[in-house]
Amino acid sequence: MPPAQPQPVELATVLEAPEISRALTRMAHEIIERNKGADGLVLLGIPTRGVHLARRLAARIAEFENLGEGAVPVGSLDVTMYRDDLHRNPVRAPAATELPPGGIDERTVVLVDDVLYSGRTIRAALDALSDLGRPNAVRLAVLVDRGHRELPIRADYVGKNLPTSQSERVRVRLHESDDSEGVFISKGLDSSGGPL
């Protein structure tokens, strides 16, 4: 019996570039309001797309607060070696963790990621942070919250709440790392026949 052919992937557009921009603008205002300004803020993006989003958020916060370019510290936090599901997911090379000058001690750290799903990435990020310093507060900003949490983790700032089924996959594309920009839901099977 021949192997089953994979179904074609169908992409549904959820957010286009202008909508991503508006969502980030709103999130930047919410961060400023809750923090009562930009003082003491550090944005740490989770590679890859979380880093790009953190840089965009930092630029907007600096603009809205009439600060110079680079006034809001941005870094990256790789969580690969802190994950509890490494045995289930394909191994990927760790990215660099880069803390801004001054570190994170006694600062308000905003973790930034593209999609919040099970919560395991954020749990790993919290573990990684504990090895790097002691911030005053840790908050979470995500472009998309798709639900299906496995851990009691909630985002403080959300660009778009997007109810999905377990068989769907949310794909974020950003100009800094991809050939297009948008948020998409994919339906169908990949070449191995499993859900995307």
Each domain of the chain, given as residue ranges in start order, spans 17-85+96-164
- Residue 136, class by beta-carbon neighbours within 10 Å (0-12 exposed, 13-18 middle, 19+ buried)? exposed
CA distance 137 to 142: 17
Give the angle 172-65-52 at the CA atoms, nearest 5°. Answer: 20
Token pair belonging to 196: 């995307």
pLDDT one-digit tens code per residue, 138-168: 999 999 999 999 999 999 999 999 999 999 9
Decide yes or no: CATH 3.40.50.2020 for domain 17-85+96-164: yes
pLDDT one-digit tens code per residue, 120-133: 999 999 999 999 99
pLDDT one-digit tens code per residue, 71-121: 999 999 999 988 877 667 666 677 889 999 999 999 999 999 999 999 999
Kindly tell me the number of DSSP H helices and DSSP E strands found in the chain.
Answer: 3, 8
